[in-house]
């Protein structure tokens, strides 16, 4: 790269809103990671802070893969301060 030229910052692709209830947690985690990226964190810095694989995190953020391992999501949730709320158990008919 020539001296004085700036790299164009390419953001991650936005994922669609999930249609299946199982994907809601993943969508919330993805949105929180994107917010961290928009706040100035890099994928590499997040990976170092959480101990997750940088390539796996990069693939997930870029949309190259649709899912991450539970261990990775647990580490990201802990770092972001996210948790599940108490369940609302539906009435059985």
Supply 13's token pair: 């692709």
A 10 A CB-CB count for 78 gives: 12
Domain ranges of the chain: 23-80
At 30-85, the pLDDT tens digits run 999 999 999 999 999 999 999 999 999 999 999 888 788 999 999 999 999 998 88
Q: Residue 16: which pLDDT band, with cuts at 50, 70 and 90?
A: low
Half-sphere exposure of 4 (CA within 13 A, CB side): 0
Class of 23-80 in CATH: mainly alpha
Let me know: does 49 contact 79? Beta carbons within 8 Å.
Answer: yes
pTM value surpassing 0.75:
no
Closest CA to 83 of 73, 91, 93: 73
């Amino acid at each position: 790269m020539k001296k004085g030229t700036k790299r164009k910052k390419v953001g991650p692709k936005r994922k669609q809103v999930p249609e299946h209830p199982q994907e809601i947690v993943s969508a919330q985690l993805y949105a929180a990671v994107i917010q961290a990226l928009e706040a100035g964190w890099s994928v590499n810095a997040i990976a170092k802070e959480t101990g997750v694989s940088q390539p796996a995190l990069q693939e997930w953020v870029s949309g190259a893969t649709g899912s991450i391992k539970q261990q990775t999501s647990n580490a990201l949730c802990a770092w972001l301060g996210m948790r599940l709320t108490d369940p609302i158990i539906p009435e059985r008919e």
